[in-house]
Amino acid sequence: MDRQKIYNTLFVTPDNEEGLKVAAEAVKNGEVVAFPTETVYGLGADALNGDAVRKIFEAKGRPGDNPLIVHIWDKSQIDDLVSEITPCAQALIDAFMPGPITVIMRKSDKIPNEVTAGLDTVGIRMPEHPLCNRFLKLCGCPVAAPSANLSGSPSPTTAHHVMNDMDGYIYGIVDGGSCRVGLESTVVDATGEVPVILRPGAVTGAMIDEVLRTRSEYAGALKQGQVPASPGMKYRHYAPGCEVRIITISSGIETIDPYEEKLSDDKKEKLFSLASPFILEAQSILKDNPTARIGIFAGNEVKALADMAGDEILSSHLCFYVYGNACDVEAAAHGLFDGLRLLDRQEVNVILATGFKGDGLEVAYMNRLSKAAGKNGDDVPSKAYNEISEGGGEVPLDFFDSVFTASVLFISDDDRNLGAVLEGLFTQLIRKKGPFCSEESIRIGAELYAESAGLNASEGLTPDVRMCEAYRRVTGESVAHHLSSRMEVYLLDSNDLILTVNDQQVLTLLESYPELKGRVYSLSSYMASKGLVMRGERGEVASLAVNDPAGGDDEAYSHTVAALKAWLEILFPYIIKDLGAMRFC
């Protein structure tokens, strides 16, 4: 699409009230003006004027077949713009407007086709940004706006980003400083009975769920991770010119001030475990390519460790964008687009960017970061856990930008028969159903494994011969190599989920380690926590008590293996999800 530099773009500084009025007047007269919001900058025109809206697409350099969001300053404007406000739309409006959310509703006749790209729905958004709201009010009309970036650039989070992309192509830019959130709004389709999140943002699924939960008709109804019918999806998303590798850090690590005068050994160790993956990755890149320039988008702990290492050659290859403390996902989200723009301009060969696990703002952050990391920027629909199916394909490890490990610990009494069988069955399932990747991004691999230990176990004993035979009969594989091990405290820390054979073992563990609450379950309590009920042949609720068949006949042994196998197959998708992984598709 042809772009023509026809404007001497007006730049309105934050305290220039006169300039703000001039810019608003221009919008009334059918011109395009960029304005700040708490998420990203928008490129606005009078939403009721189709000709004005067309100018947005000319400035952005993309065809007008992607629907635009309509921005308002007062909720009373909504009635005129939509033909229906469903109860769930009303609940979202009440709870989250003004704020970083866009609610999709059926449009009214007043909205021209240029805004909605021919759809019969429209996205309405009321930003939470005082200068923005003053500007919109001065415009006096609903303002249609996409993000104010050039097609193919990341969304702008400062007026200078907009200036870089739009100078000369639009009437004016209102400078409102750096956008607080830094990621685009949550887009929620509220035309149906239940809301569907089309694009994650700072209003998280959990926050929406919470609001709807208080209305009994919606309890648990939120659909997340659905393949969205969002027309914008076919557009290339921003990806820097270079490769982006994601290095996921564990959330919940306490913030360490790396510049504290006397760092205790404990803190040094934490700092090292948090920051060293970046340094190691940089070193390995330099090994292959000694002239590489490496961009690092990370917390100040990482910069500090690089400084402490005192390796001047390494440092001379690194180009840092420090967003704040490593574990501060809000700071990372705020800085993400700015950081990617800046590092891209430094012409680095690769960017190592911090990844986060978590289901709050982490979801929106990882959504944008994964798109930046995906070479073709295509949207990858996330798979629901219950779609995990028989897999077994091989994925070359270098497909992944990074790999995390996660594990289950099976606790029994002596870790001989039952421990061996549970660990063996689970390991087999991982092998058969894998490979796995992170729930947040298919660019992050997940290496899953199982361990077992016994509360009263002797070390190094193999299972009963009869158990080994039964295991082979049922599964065709062997557990004869399994050696029992005693439960040690480090095992409780190093495993993500702990499953015990019976309820008593849960109580025993919680008595000594109350901090394990939420991470330790018996097989039956885990099943119940997922709302699953096992039924026997006659439809009765089956008991999940697992007994060691020792002393029984062959059939008792086989029965135990077969029952555990059936249960684990049912629980497997839930366990995978709890480990933060999904089947790689």
Interface with Mg ion (CB under 5 A): 147
CB of residue 236 to ligand TXA, shortest distance in Å: 13
**Strand pairing category for 143-145 and 42-46:** antiparallel
Terminal alpha carbon distance of the chain: 35
- Name the helix (H) or strand (E) containing 573: helix 554-578
Burial class (CB in 10 A: 0-12, 13-18, 19+), 460: exposed
Chosen from Mg ion, ligand TXA, none, partner binding at 123 (C-beta under 5 to 8 Å by type): ligand TXA
CB of residue 189 to Mg ion, shortest distance in Å: 17
Chosen from ligand TXA, Mg ion, none, partner binding at 499 (C-beta under 5 to 8 Å by type): none
Pick the closer one to ligand TXA by CB: 180 or 245.
180
Give SS3 for 549.
coil
Pick the closer one to ligand TXA by CB: 231 or 360.
231
CB of residue 237 to Mg ion, shortest distance in Å: 9
Chosen from ligand TXA, Mg ion, none, partner binding at 116 (C-beta under 5 to 8 Å by type): ligand TXA
Distances from the Cα of 42 to the Cα of 22, 293, 455, angstroms: 18, 33, 60
Pick the closer one to ligand TXA by CB: 65 or 210.
65
Distance CA 492, CA 475 (A): 29
Nearest Cα residue to 431 out of 406, 407, 449: 449
CB of residue 335 to ligand TXA, shortest distance in Å: 17
CB of residue 212 to ligand TXA, shortest distance in Å: 20
CB of residue 122 to ligand TXA, shortest distance in Å: 5
CB of residue 155 to Mg ion, shortest distance in Å: 5
Backbone angles phi, psi at 101, to 5 degrees: -135, 145
Pick the closer one to Mg ion by CB: 121 or 147.
147
Pick the closer one to ligand TXA by CB: 125 or 341.
125
**Are residues 517 and 510 in contact, defined by beta-carbon separation less than 8 angstroms?**
yes
**Are residues 377 and 571 in contact, defined by beta-carbon separation less than 8 angstroms?**
no
CB of residue 163 to ligand TXA, shortest distance in Å: 16
CB of residue 381 to ligand TXA, shortest distance in Å: 14
Chosen from Mg ion, ligand TXA, none, partner binding at 158 (C-beta under 5 to 8 Å by type): none
CB of residue 337 to ligand TXA, shortest distance in Å: 11
**Within a 13 Å sphere around the CA of 400, how many CA atoms are in the beta-carbon half?**
22
**Are residues 246 and 401 in contact, defined by beta-carbon separation less than 8 angstroms?**
yes
Chain CA centroid to CA 167, Å: 33
Residue with the closest Cβ to Mg ion? 147
Nearest Cα residue to 162 out of 11, 357, 16: 11
Pick the closer one to Mg ion by CB: 66 or 502.
66
Nearest Cα residue to 205 out of 223, 193, 192: 223
Pick the closer one to Mg ion by CB: 104 or 322.
104
For the record, the structure tokens of 384 come out as 């629901």
Contacts of 377 (CB under 8 A, 6+ apart): 236, 237, 238, 239, 371
Distance CA 19, CA 344 (A): 33
**Strand pairing category for 69-71 and 121-125:** parallel
Q: Where are the beta strands (DSSP E) in 54-166?
A: 69-71, 82-84, 101-107, 121-125, 143-145
Pick the closer one to ligand TXA by CB: 257 or 378.
378
Distance CA 166, CA 445 (A): 38
For the record, the structure tokens of 79 come out as 């009635």
Pick the closer one to ligand TXA by CB: 231 or 324.
231
Pick the closer one to ligand TXA by CB: 116 or 438.
116
Distance CA 201, CA 179 (A): 14
Nearest Cα residue to 455 out of 489, 497, 421: 489
User: 8-41 burial, b for 16+ CB within 10 Å, e for fewer?
Assistant: ebbbbeeeeeebbebbbebbeebbbbbbbbbbbb
CB of residue 115 to Mg ion, shortest distance in Å: 15
CB of residue 438 to ligand TXA, shortest distance in Å: 23
Burial class (CB in 10 A: 0-12, 13-18, 19+), 336: buried
Chosen from ligand TXA, Mg ion, none, partner binding at 198 (C-beta under 5 to 8 Å by type): ligand TXA
CB of residue 112 to ligand TXA, shortest distance in Å: 13
Pick the closer one to Mg ion by CB: 26 or 43.
43
CB of residue 113 to ligand TXA, shortest distance in Å: 12
Pick the closer one to ligand TXA by CB: 53 or 68.
68
Chosen from Mg ion, ligand TXA, none, partner binding at 546 (C-beta under 5 to 8 Å by type): none
Enumerate binding residues for ligand TXA (CB under 6 A).
37, 39-40, 42, 66-69, 102, 104, 116, 119, 121-123, 125, 145-147, 184-185, 187, 198-199, 230-232
Chosen from Mg ion, ligand TXA, none, partner binding at 39 (C-beta under 5 to 8 Å by type): ligand TXA
Distance CA 353, CA 336 (A): 9
Pick the closer one to Mg ion by CB: 89 or 183.
183
User: Which amino acid appears at position 279 of this protein?
Assistant: I
Chosen from ligand TXA, Mg ion, none, partner binding at 524 (C-beta under 5 to 8 Å by type): none
Pick the closer one to ligand TXA by CB: 28 or 106.
106
Chosen from Mg ion, ligand TXA, none, partner binding at 195 (C-beta under 5 to 8 Å by type): none
